């Protein structure tokens, strides 16, 4: 099938590449000329495990193309995916100007039946707004489909190639059939394609992300309570997660959820509820809990140093919002760093992938180390802010000889409590006893 993907951000690039992998002819279009040139030359602008080999292969075999020319992209494509940004506007609602702007341009270009698919997370009613734009600018037949992405950064290729489910929201029979054919190779393992109307599909995406964010925030509150009553959140997690109705996943307490989706989507859903005169109380609480949770490690550090961090040299392991990505959008680490700098601490950080992005955001406000032990050199304490595998089983002897004092604040609960006792660390994690 001939496919166009408008927008080569994270979602567009993964979508385009993975659609090419099953034999489709994919043309990706972006306004950013230097980025398009880079991709035409075989270079990827993002880090995502597994993407590079698929990207290179499909580029070489001529199934994946890049252009800045929307007309060229739209000309032959049967299905046009919109993978454009929907950043939060000033009032928390998603800004649809890119999506609607591109829709207008496409509407003016089409000369035969096309399927327009929203892949970006868009508020309920966006398919109708796109329909209005098309009706205003073309007489050609078309269909609008909502097809939300559920990709997790770090495992996006796997999520695309073997999705738990595919949601297709359309009332157009022809579009429904085409979308079903397009996705058939991705659901061979038996997972469902779920068809519904566009509004339900649009809400499904927000409901999924908001539910997961709620699950995490609930667990973060349980962790905070564990500390007060002398319980261990790891035990409680095991105890409740074994119940199938609750499930084991997304029950890890820490320093709050981050990333490009959860914070934005929870906020947008709460706003959309409010616009419809509905006060979504749970979502408001989820956002409050997350704001507090982002400060929890700083509170612990301040308490340990009697509210005086001036001159303290702190080492940080992990900057990205989660492992296996260089993405620092809404990363808890950035909030924590800002608070610590305000308190007068100095910081040396290491992250396996996100250092370039953090350098761009923070410049020389902090120091950057070549590896994790160099970051810990002469530090008063080590802070663990992202659970990269490489931090899970460090060489504790080397760590001990690097650190000035054996103090660890662990925002991701990486180490066994008994191990910390045996190694003689002061160890403060989330929802577990403090080892001192
Ligand atoms: C998420 C959704 O999972 C995905 O389906 C959607 O399409 C986009 O948003 P992503 O943002 O890549 O994906 O990350 P995810 O792995 O879901 O983690 C989100 C945040 O939750 C991270 O900050 C992570 O650290 C945090 N988290 C996750 C926890 O704090 N505890 C957990 O148990 C799980």
Report how far residue 197's alpha carbon sits from residue 146's, in angstroms, rounded to the nearest whole number.
8
Atom of ligand 1 nearest to the CA of 330: 23
Please say if the pLDDT value at position 352 is more than 90.
yes
d(CA 287, ligand 1 centre) in Å: 15
240, 315: one domain: no
* Banded pLDDT at 168 (limits 50, 70, 90): very high
Output the residue whose Cα is nearest ligand 1's atom 15.
Answer: 152
The pLDDT, as a whole number, for residue 209 is 97
The pLDDT, as a whole number, for residue 432 is 98
Of residues 367 and 154, the one with the higher pLDDT is 367
User: Two tokens at 316?
Assistant: 């940080």
**CA neighbours closer than 13 Å in the CB half-sphere of residue 217:** 22
The pLDDT, as a whole number, for residue 237 is 98
* Banded pLDDT at 366 (limits 50, 70, 90): very high
Q: Would you call 336 helix, strand, or coil by DSSP? A: helix
* Banded pLDDT at 93 (limits 50, 70, 90): confident
User: Two tokens at 241?
Assistant: 């997660």
Are 353 and 326 contacting, i.e. CB atoms less than 8 angstroms apart?
yes
Mean pLDDT of the chain: 97
The pLDDT, as a whole number, for residue 231 is 98
Atom of ligand 1 nearest to the CA of 256: 30
DSSP E strand stretches across 84-160: 114-118, 142-146
Atom of ligand 1 nearest to the CA of 213: 21
- Residues 176-184 have a mean pLDDT of 98
d(CA 48, ligand 1 centre) in Å: 15
41, 185: one domain: yes
The pLDDT, as a whole number, for residue 70 is 98
- Residues 48-57 have a mean pLDDT of 96
Q: What are the angstrom distances between the C-alpha of 34 and each of 54, 118, 177?
A: 21, 25, 37
Residue with tokens 């054996």: 406
d(CA 272, ligand 1 centre) in Å: 22
* Banded pLDDT at 89 (limits 50, 70, 90): confident
120, 76: one domain: yes
What are the tens digits of pLDDT across the range 375-409?
999 999 999 999 999 999 999 999 999 999 999 99
What CATH number is associated with residue 368?
3.40.50.720
Q: Judge whether 201 lies within some domain.
A: no
- Residues 340-352 have a mean pLDDT of 98
Residue 261 is among the residues annotated as catalytic for this protein: yes
The pLDDT, as a whole number, for residue 17 is 98
> What residue ranges line ligand 1, CB within 6 angstroms?
149-153, 209, 212, 216, 250-252, 254, 257-259, 261-262, 321-322
The pLDDT, as a whole number, for residue 427 is 98
Please say if the pLDDT value at position 328 is more than 90.
yes
239, 128: one domain: no
Q: What pTM was computed for the model?
A: 0.93
Q: Judge whether 66 lies within some domain.
A: yes
Please say if the pLDDT value at position 12 is more than 80.
yes
Output the residue whose Cα is nearest ligand 1's atom 9.
Answer: 261
d(CA 297, ligand 1 centre) in Å: 20
The percentage of the chain sitting over the pLDDT mark of 70, rounded to a whole number, equals 100
Are 372 and 391 contacting, i.e. CB atoms less than 8 angstroms apart?
yes
354, 377: one domain: yes
What CATH number is associated with residue 224?
1.10.1040.10
386, 302: one domain: yes
Report how far residue 333's alpha carbon sits from residue 317's, in angstroms, rounded to the nearest whole number.
9
Atom of ligand 1 nearest to the CA of 149: 7
d(CA 152, ligand 1 centre) in Å: 7
Report how far residue 336's alpha carbon sits from residue 30's, in angstroms, rounded to the nearest whole number.
34
Output the residue whose Cα is nearest ligand 1's atom 2.
Answer: 152
Output the residue whose Cα is nearest ligand 1's atom 20.
Answer: 257
User: Two tokens at 324?
Assistant: 């296996």
Report how far residue 287's alpha carbon sits from residue 276's, in angstroms, rounded to the nearest whole number.
19
328, 358: one domain: yes
Output the residue whose Cα is nearest ligand 1's atom 3.
Answer: 152
25, 65: one domain: yes
Atom of ligand 1 nearest to the CA of 121: 7
Please say if the pLDDT value at position 90 is more than 90.
no
Domain count, the chain: 3
- Selected catalytic residue, list 18, 28, 261, 423: 261
Output the residue whose Cα is nearest ligand 1's atom 6.
Answer: 150
347, 214: one domain: no
Please say if the pLDDT value at position 88 is more than 90.
no
The mean-pLDDT minimum among 65-74, 259-268, 308-317, 361-370 falls in 259-268
Work out the angle between the directed axes of helices 281-293 and 262-275 (0-180°, nearest 10).
150
Q: Ligand 1, from 160, 162, 257: best to mutate by most atoms within 8 Å of Cβ?
A: 257
Report how far residue 311's alpha carbon sits from residue 341's, in angstroms, rounded to the nearest whole number.
10
* Banded pLDDT at 7 (limits 50, 70, 90): very high
Enclosing domain of residue 249: 206-292
ipTM of the complex: 0.94
250, 304: one domain: no
270, 320: one domain: no
């Amino acid at each position: 099938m001939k496919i166009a993907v408008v927008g080569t951000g994270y979602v567009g690039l993964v979508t385009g590449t993975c659609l090419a992998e099953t034999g489709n002819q994919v043309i990706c279009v972006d306004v950013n000329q230097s980025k398009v040139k880079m991709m035409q030359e075989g270079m990827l602008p993002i880090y995502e495990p597994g993407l590079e080999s698929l990207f290179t292969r499909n580029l070489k075999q001529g199934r994946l193309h890049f252009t800045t020319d929307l007309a060229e992209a739209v000309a032959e494509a049967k299905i046009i995916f919109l993978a454009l940004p929907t950043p939060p506007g000033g009032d928390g609602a998603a800004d649809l100007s890119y999506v609607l702007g591109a829709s207008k341009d496409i509407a003016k270009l089409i000369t035969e039946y096309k399927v327009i698919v929203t892949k970006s997370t868009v508020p309920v009613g966006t398919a109708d707004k796109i329909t209005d734009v098309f009706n205003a600018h073309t007489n050609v037949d078309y269909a609008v489909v909502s097809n939300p992405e559920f990709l997790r950064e770090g495992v996006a290729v796997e999520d695309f190639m073997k999705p738990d489910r595919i949601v297709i929201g359309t009332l157009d029979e022809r579009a429904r059939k085409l979308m079903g054919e397009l996705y058939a190779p991705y659901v061979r393992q038996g997972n469902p394609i779920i068809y519904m109307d566009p509004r339900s599909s649009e809400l499904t995406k927000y409901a999924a992300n908001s539910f997961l964010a709620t699950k995490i925030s609930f667990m973060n509150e349980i962790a905070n309570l564990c500390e007060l009553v002398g319980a261990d959140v790891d035990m409680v997690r095991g105890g409740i997660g074994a119940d199938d109705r609750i499930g084991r996943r997304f029950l890890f307490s820490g320093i709050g959820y981050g990333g490009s989706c959860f914070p934005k989507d929870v906020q947008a859903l709460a706003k959309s509820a409010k616009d419809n005169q509905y006060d979504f109380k749970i979502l408001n609480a989820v956002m409050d809990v997350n704001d507090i949770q982002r400060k929890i490690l700083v509170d612990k550090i301040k308490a340990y140093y009697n509210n005086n961090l001036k001159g303290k040299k702190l080492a940080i392991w992990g900057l990205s919002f989660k492992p296996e990505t260089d993405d620092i959008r809404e990363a808890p680490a950035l909030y924590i760093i800002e608070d610590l700098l305000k308190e007068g601490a100095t910081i040396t950080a290491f992250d396996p992938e996100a250092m370039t992005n953090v350098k761009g955001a923070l410049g020389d406000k902090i120091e950057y180390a070549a590896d994790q032990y160099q970051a810990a050199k002469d530090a008063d304490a080590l802070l663990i802010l992202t659970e990269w595998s490489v931090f899970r089983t460090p060489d504790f002897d080397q760590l001990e000889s690097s650190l000035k004092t054996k103090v660890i604040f662990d925002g991701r609960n990486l180490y066994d409590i008994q191990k910390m006792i045996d190694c003689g660390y002061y160890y403060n994690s989330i929802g577990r006893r403090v080892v001192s």
